[in-house]
């Protein structure tokens, strides 16, 4: 399990990195945290001709808020997210999800952007980005473009990234006051990729749901937003009395929204069942954390 030979480049600036990537074309590959890429290279599943190590580009380590938008640079590690008071205060869904990511040593190296770029269907961060309505800032030698999460995440481990491009940061818009959040996940062992999970946001004002977000994790191609359930919940008064019935309807929509596949850990039928369980748990927890602590 030794990695194949590659041309190793460690640019010091973004311009330098994108120039190398432009020249490398489809042969180029960005190395950030390396916690997904290096195993694949050790197993010789991937063999990039040019490996562009971006770890020396200091500007990519930025984690800050700009006009209420959270910016997560390409070198921000899971551990930085986990320990960030900024993230915890403004985007607690992200903090909660990050706690499910792997284990300490992996979180110390692995990056949020890398997780989104990899787009493993069972990974946490693509679904969080989708749920929070975030976007991906992509750079190439030609310049920058910003792509919405739903356009970026294109399916099973595929994204809108073109050869010559790299992610420079993720952007998460502000979460509206009164929004309850929950990220739930079920995996065989803590830190494993999820058998299934769900992210939910419920924005309540005066007991009425202004906006709902529900995304499922680990269900096939990639994160699945259950827009039908979101539409169903929006405008409804949600309280202890109405929640069971409303959530049950949302659960049924969630089960219908996914198209899971069999793998060694569970069959498609189990996963569809789990989609419902996770959706219900996420919505229930989000409700507990919503509105009531905020004034309308």
Partner 1 sequence: MPEQQTITLTVNGRVHTKDVATRTSLADFLRDQLHLTGTHLGCEHGVCGACTVTVDGRSARACLMLAVQADGREVVTIEGLKDPAGVWHPVQKAFFENFAIQCGFCTPGFFATAIELLGQNPDPTEAEIREYLSGNICRCSGYQAIVEAVRAAAAAMQDHQRG
Partner 2 sequence: MSGTRFVNERMVGSSVLPEEAIPLVEGEARFLNDISFAGMFHVAFLRSQHAHARLARIDTSRARALPGVVTVLTGADLLGKVEPFTSMPNRFSGGQSTQHWLAVEKVRFCGEAICTVVAESRALAEDAIELIEVDYDPLPVVTNARDGERDGSPLVHDTCPNNYLIRRDYQSGDVDAAFANAHLVVKRRFQLGRKQALCMEGRGCVAAWRDGSFKLSMWMSHQLPYVVRHYLAKHLGLSETDIRVVAPQTGGGFGQKASIYPEEFVCAFLALQLRRPVKWVEDRLENMVASTHAREHDIEVALALDAEGHILALQSDIWTDVGAYSTYLWSAGMEPLQTGGLMPGPYQVKALRYTTRGVATNKTPVGPYRAVGRPSASASLELLLDQAAAELGIDPVEIRRRNIIPQSAMPFRNGNNLVHDHVGYMPCLDMALAKSGYPVLRKEQQAMLAKGKLRGIGVACFAELTGLGTSTAVGPGTLLQPGRDAVTLRLETSGKLTIAAALPSQGQRIATAMRQVAADELGIRLDDIACLTNDTGMAPYGFGTFASRTAVFGSGAVIQAAGELRRRILAVAAHIMQTPSEELMLADSVVETVDRTRSLPLRQLAEHSFFSAKDIPSEINQGFEVTAFYDPKHGSFAAGAHVVVVDVDEETGHVEIVRYVAAEDVGRIINPAVVEGQIIGGIAQGVGEALYEQLIYDENGQPRTVTLADYLVPSALEVPHIELHHANTPSGALGGFKGCGEGSIIGALAGISCAVADALRQRGGDIFHFPATPERVLRGLGVALDDAA
Interface with partner 2 (CB under 8 A): 1-5, 39, 43-44, 186, 188-193, 195, 255-256, 258, 260, 263-270, 272-274, 277
- Residue partners of 233: CB distance under 8 A and separation at least 6: 202, 209, 212, 214, 246, 250, 283
Choose between 74 and 253: whose C-beta lies nearer to partner 2.
Answer: 253
Which DSSP string do the residues of 54-92 spell out, in sequence order? -TT-GGGG-EEEETTEEEEETT-BHHHHHT-HHHHHH-H
Give yes or no for residue 157 binding partner 1 (CB under 8 A): no
Least distance (Å) from partner 2 to the CB of residue 122? 10
CA–CA separation, 116 vs 205, rounded Å? 32
CA–CA separation, 74 vs 47, rounded Å? 22
Binding mask 18-57 for partner 1 (x = CB under 8 A): -------------x--xx--xx--xx-------x-x-x--
| Contact window for partner 1 (CB under 8 A) among 104-112, 132-140, 167-175, 258-266 | 104-112
- Are 81 and 87 in contact, with CB atoms under 8 Å apart? yes
- Kind and range of the H or E run holding 220: none
- Are 96 and 183 in contact, with CB atoms under 8 Å apart? yes
Give yes or no for residue 264 binding partner 1 (CB under 8 A): no
Least distance (Å) from partner 1 to the CB of residue 188? 12
Choose between 10 and 157: whose C-beta lies nearer to partner 1.
Answer: 10
Least distance (Å) from partner 2 to the CB of residue 110? 14
Choose between 115 and 135: whose C-beta lies nearer to partner 2.
Answer: 115
| CB burial of residue 206 (10 Å; 0-12, 13-18, 19+) | exposed
Residue 14 interacts with, from partner 2, partner 1, none (CB under 5-8 Å by kind): none
Least distance (Å) from partner 1 to the CB of residue 100? 12
Give yes or no for residue 12 binding partner 1 (CB under 8 A): no
């Amino acid at each position: 399990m030794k990695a194949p030979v590659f041309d190793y480049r460690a640019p010091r600036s973004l311009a330098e990195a994108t120039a190398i990537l432009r020249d490398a074309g489809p042969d180029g590959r960005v190395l950030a945290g390396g916690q997904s890429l290096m195993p694949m290279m050790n197993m010789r599943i991937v063999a990039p001709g040019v490996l562009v190590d971006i770890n020396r580009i200091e500007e990519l380590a930025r984690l800050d808020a700009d006009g209420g938008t959270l910016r997560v640079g390409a070198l921000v590690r899971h551990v930085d997210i986990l320990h960030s008071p900024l993230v915890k205060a403004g985007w607690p869904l992200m903090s909660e999800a990050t706690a499910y990511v792997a284990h300490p040593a992996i979180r110390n190296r692995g990056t949020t952007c890398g997780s989104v770029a990899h787009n493993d269907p069972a990974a946490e961060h693509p679904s969080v980005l989708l749920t929070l309505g975030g976007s991906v800032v992509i750079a190439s030698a030609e310049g920058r473009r910003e792509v919405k999460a739903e356009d970026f995440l294109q399916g099973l481990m595929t994204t809108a990234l073109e050869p010559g491009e790299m992610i420079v940061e993720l952007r998460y818009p502000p979460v509206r006051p009164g929004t309850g959040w929950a990220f739930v996940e079920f995996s065989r062992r803590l830190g494993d990729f999820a058998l299934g999970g769900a992210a939910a946001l419920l924005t309540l004002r005066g007991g009425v749901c202004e906006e709902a977000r529900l995304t499922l994790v680990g269900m096939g191609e990639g994160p699945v937003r259950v827009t039908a359930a979101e539409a169903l919940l929006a405008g409804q008064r949600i309280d202890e009395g109405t929640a069971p019935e409303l959530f049950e309807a949302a659960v049924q929509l969630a089960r219908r929204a996914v198209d899971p596949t069999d793998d060694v850990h569970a069959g498609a039928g189990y996963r569809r069942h789990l989609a419902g369980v996770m959706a219900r748990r996420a919505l229930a927890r989000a409700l507990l954390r919503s509105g009531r602590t905020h004034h309308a």
